[in-house]
Structure 1
Amino acid sequence: MRIAQLFTFFCFSFFLITSCNYQKQNDSNDKDKEEKEEESKTEKVSVQDVERGIRENIMAKTKEGNGFFKFSNDTTDFNLKLVRVHTEYLSVLGPNEFFACVDLATESGDVYDVDFFLKGSKNDMKVTRTDLHKLNGKPYYTWKQNKDKTWVTVPVEKASNKLMGVIEGQDNFSFTYEASLPEIADNAEIWIPVAQSDEFQTIEILSIETPGKHKMISDPDFDNSILYMNLDPSHSGKKISINYQVNRLEKGPYEEDSVPEKYLKANKLLPIGDRFKLIADEAIEKKTASTPLTKARALYDHVIEEVRYAKQGTYGTGDADYACDSKSGNCTEFHSLFISLARSADIPARFAVGAAIPSSRDEGGVNGYHCWAEFYAEGKWWPVDISEADKYTALATYYFGHHPANRIEFSRGRDIKPEIMPQSGSINFLAYPVLEIKGEPVRVDTKFTFKRDNLNI
């Protein structure tokens, strides 16, 4: 009897233990199942999804605004066009919360860096907050992380770009262009660019000093003003000096009565098509660019990323092939590559050259010529300065659509054909004097100096 009771107790205990373990296993399985079901409900969102989401929101709002992304704050109503999405700043902040930073431009060419906060799912994001972060590269606020790991905005006092070479608004200065003639053993000819007034610079020629008679000529393609002289051995060692008074305005996108299509053709050192079209198409596709403005920004960024500023090799000729191969050069290579890429993408683009006036001092020498470019989009010419944007990355947004007031423009165009042609053919670009002795090009020492009128800064 005793053995039978013990056996019965053992069986009952085994049954209870087995039942408990079975129930625990079932509970555990149910919990795992619930967690997996919950995980399946939470979609994994990538930064590519965030990029698609912000683009869809901007496109939808642009369509509603008849071609403009309309935005308002307490003081201003904005009509904006997409320039680019900052893919490097796209973020997933948490479950169903996202961040995007976008450049949007006004009709006048001011570029706002706008912060967007979004909520929703992978395929359905909605903008919940929009903040103007920067204007032409200058911040209204910066981000600061609190001790609890949350992020807040901190106002930034109005900064000046002057320390980075930029004078905004206007600049007034006198400017002297001086050329020292070398030894001349035979008859010679010289061509020197002469600055002209336009919408952005008022030029007063104070004096022209030459060792003999000169005359002013032009070229039919770009209407540049050119000083031309016949020289002989008696002019050896003499100087040619042009003295200007300049009032220069900061330059933004502008309308012009011109034929943009003429700036889609190739030049001698600015080829189009072939590898330039392949590179342009790849850069544009990489940035998901679909309008002339966003395509131009994609090409602008590509040149900054690919080319480094270096005065080595055969730099300074503005040869787009050299820039593409060496991935280096000075301002001529930066802008020549951009122009070849832009034209290959059916975006009219053109070249100009002059001198950049120092912003950090009010008189003295100027370190040689400087060149820049413009492209055509949205019915306007947009100025760009890619080599300066490469030097000062904080101003990359500013230099896409602006040229500062502290510069003077000498001439425009490539393959310039003056009314009186050099024997060596068309002029690649006209910054320094072109001197030919018996038809052979000869270097001319050239010096630029300036003095600023401080009352107008």
Structure 2
Amino acid sequence: VTVVCLVLGSCSTAKGPHENVANVVTADIQAGIEKHIEEQVKLNEGYFKVPFEDQELHLKLVRVHTEYLANLTPQDHFACVDLASTDGDVYDVDFFLSGDPGRMTVTKTTVHKTNGQPLYVWKQKEDKTWYRLPVDNATPDLLGVVKERDRFEFFYQATLPEITDQGRMWIPLPVTDQYQTIEVQYIDAPVDYQILADRKYGNKMFFMELTPENSRDTVEICYRVERREKGVYRDNTGDPQYYLRPNRLVPENREFSKIAEKVVAGKLGSLARARALYDHTIDRMRYMKYGDGWGKGDAIYACDIRTGNCTDFHSYFIALSRAVGIPARFAIGASIPSERNQGGIDGYHCWAEFYTNGKWWPTDISEGDKCSALST
């Protein structure tokens, strides 16, 4: 989670976090801001409205950043809250409150970040008060993000193992869709191949039949790729309720239901519930490729061992989401670095998507765990 002291925007003075005051605890501040948001949502047809750049944002609560709740004086308090639009944009909003527990009122509201990118930074004066210092907007590459479009060539190469009998090989074939354009530049393979399609999901793959003579041969495929930024999106090709069903590695399990119900208790709406499950997964899991069993996407293994790679993180999240009625599914591909234009990638990467408000919301929990600046 990005710290409240790393942000950008206007130059008005505001008192900022961090002098603890007796009698008012962070739970009181959290209750105060949640009550304010709930009251405004009831008054505004289910949305919390925030003025921003000559428009009015209609938002839904995702979470209160409990780690940033603070007393500024005995009567002045600070809260930082994530809210999201139905288009999938996430706004980190700063709130200043005044008053005693149970009677707090909001005195100032400002948008602090959009989709994880700061709009201003907090700076402390010698008298310990804080103000928003305007700075140039951080460029996407400094944040580790390529915005809008990216173009590159992608080389896939595999060395075949020792083959003692007849062998078969399937290599996933990326397809062109609304978020990427794929051109196959060439395929260098030791045998003829076919392109097959999976009847259930429509995924395509290269298929080859091999013999012992192909032992230690190499296969190389070169793609030219244009990627378009993918956020929250609609997908009318299937029934989202299908992704509530258990499967072999993400089964129905009473333990998943017990954990998930405890994590989402008191959370209103699927967005806030999914965010709570996201935070729980980061808190519970550790990114560590150690021992036997990791990397298979086995949700029970992830729940028990609490370590693994991206497949283990997301199988656990998917199991919890399904347990509380939120459709969720895997997505898999390659993670393309934004900070360099050439070099190798040593494996696949996967993430999860959950369904609410008529759209699929991609979420990458293991990457957020490894790089907190990317977890918004």
Q: Using structure 1 for the length normalisation, give the TM-score.
A: 0.74
Secondary structure in 2 matching 1:356: coil
| 1:304-357 residue CA offsets vs partner (Å, 9 max, x unmatched) | 111111111122111112212221111111111111111111111110111111
Counterparts of 1:151 and 1:362, CA distance in 2: 40
Alignment of 1:391-430 (within 5 A): 391-397=370-376
1:358 counterpart letter in structure 2: P
| 1:182-226 residue CA offsets vs partner (Å, 9 max, x unmatched) | 222211111111101122111112222322222121223321102
> Partner of 2:251 in structure 1?
271
Out of 365, 368, 371, the residue aligned to residue 389 of structure 1 is 368
1:68 counterpart letter in structure 2: Y
| 1:355-398 residue CA offsets vs partner (Å, 9 max, x unmatched) | 1112222112112111111111111100111111111101100x
What residue ranges of structure 2 are gaps of 5+ in the alignment? 1-21
On the 8 A contact 1:272/1:341 being kept in 2, the answer is no
Out of 258, 263, 267, the residue aligned to residue 283 of structure 1 is 263
In structure 2, do the counterparts of structure 1 residues 59 and 86 end up closer, same or farther at CA, with 3 Å as the change threshold? same
- Which is helix-richer, 1 or 2? 1
Alignment of 1:297-336 (within 5 A): 297-314=275-292, 315-336=294-315
1:44 is displaced (CA, Å) by 4.1
Out of 185, 190, 214, the residue aligned to residue 164 of structure 2 is 185
Alignment of 1:206-355 (within 5 A): 206-257=185-236, 258-285=238-265, 288-314=266-292, 315-355=294-334
> Partner of 2:155 in structure 1?
176
2:222 counterpart letter in structure 1: N
Worse-superposed segment, 245-254 or 47-56: 47-56
Counterparts of 2:338 and 2:217, CA distance in 1: 31
Counterparts of 1:293 and 1:183, CA distance in 2: 49
Counterparts of 1:178 and 1:221, CA distance in 2: 27
2:213 counterpart letter in structure 1: S
1:119 is displaced (CA, Å) by 2.1
In structure 2, do the counterparts of structure 1 residues 73 and 364 end up closer, same or farther at CA, with 3 Å as the change threshold? closer
Tell which structure's C-alpha radius of gyration is larger. 1
1:298 is displaced (CA, Å) by 0.5
What residue ranges of structure 1 are gaps of 5+ in the alignment? 1-42, 398-457
Q: More relative contact order in 1 or in 2 (CA 8 Å, sep 6+)?
A: 1
Counterparts of 2:328 and 2:343, CA distance in 1: 33
Counterparts of 2:144 and 2:73, CA distance in 1: 41
1:180 counterpart letter in structure 2: T
| 1:121-154 residue CA offsets vs partner (Å, 9 max, x unmatched) | 3223221110111122222222222222222222
2:204 counterpart letter in structure 1: S
| 1:252-311 residue CA offsets vs partner (Å, 9 max, x unmatched) | 1011102111111112111233111111122222xx412110011001111111111111
1:157 counterpart letter in structure 2: D
On the 8 A contact 2:332/2:350 being kept in 1, the answer is yes
Counterparts of 1:318 and 1:165, CA distance in 2: 26
In structure 2, do the counterparts of structure 1 residues 124 and 346 end up closer, same or farther at CA, with 3 Å as the change threshold? same
> Partner of 2:48 in structure 1?
69
In structure 2, do the counterparts of structure 1 residues 101 and 164 end up closer, same or farther at CA, with 3 Å as the change threshold? closer
How many percent identity over aligned positions?
Answer: 50
On the 8 A contact 1:178/1:241 being kept in 2, the answer is yes
> Partner of 1:404 in structure 2?
none
2:269 counterpart letter in structure 1: T
| 1:75-101 residue CA offsets vs partner (Å, 9 max, x unmatched) | 222111111111122223334322211
Out of 337, 341, 346, the residue aligned to residue 358 of structure 1 is 337
Q: Using structure 2 for the length normalisation, give the TM-score.
A: 0.89
Q: Kindly report the root-mean-square deviation, in angstroms, between the aligned alpha carbons of the 2 structures.
A: 1.7
Counterparts of 2:71 and 2:371, CA distance in 1: 29
Secondary structure in 1 matching 2:344: strand
> Partner of 1:48 in structure 2?
27
2:83 counterpart letter in structure 1: L
1:74 is displaced (CA, Å) by 4.6
> Partner of 1:413 in structure 2?
none
Counterparts of 2:142 and 2:285, CA distance in 1: 24
1:164 is displaced (CA, Å) by 5.3
2:279 counterpart letter in structure 1: D
Is 2:120 the partner of 1:141?
Answer: yes
On the 8 A contact 2:52/2:111 being kept in 1, the answer is no
1:267 counterpart letter in structure 2: N
Out of 196, 199, 202, the residue aligned to residue 178 of structure 2 is 199
> Partner of 1:436 in structure 2?
none
Counterparts of 1:264 and 1:231, CA distance in 2: 38
> Partner of 2:13 in structure 1?
none
Secondary structure in 2 matching 1:389: helix
Counterparts of 2:135 and 2:252, CA distance in 1: 44
Counterparts of 1:188 and 1:147, CA distance in 2: 72
Secondary structure in 2 matching 1:124: coil
Counterparts of 1:80 and 1:394, CA distance in 2: 23
> Partner of 1:113 in structure 2?
92
Secondary structure in 1 matching 2:104: strand
Secondary structure in 1 matching 2:317: helix
Q: Moved runs in structure 1, 4+ residues, more than 4 A? A: none
Out of 59, 66, 78, the residue aligned to residue 99 of structure 1 is 78
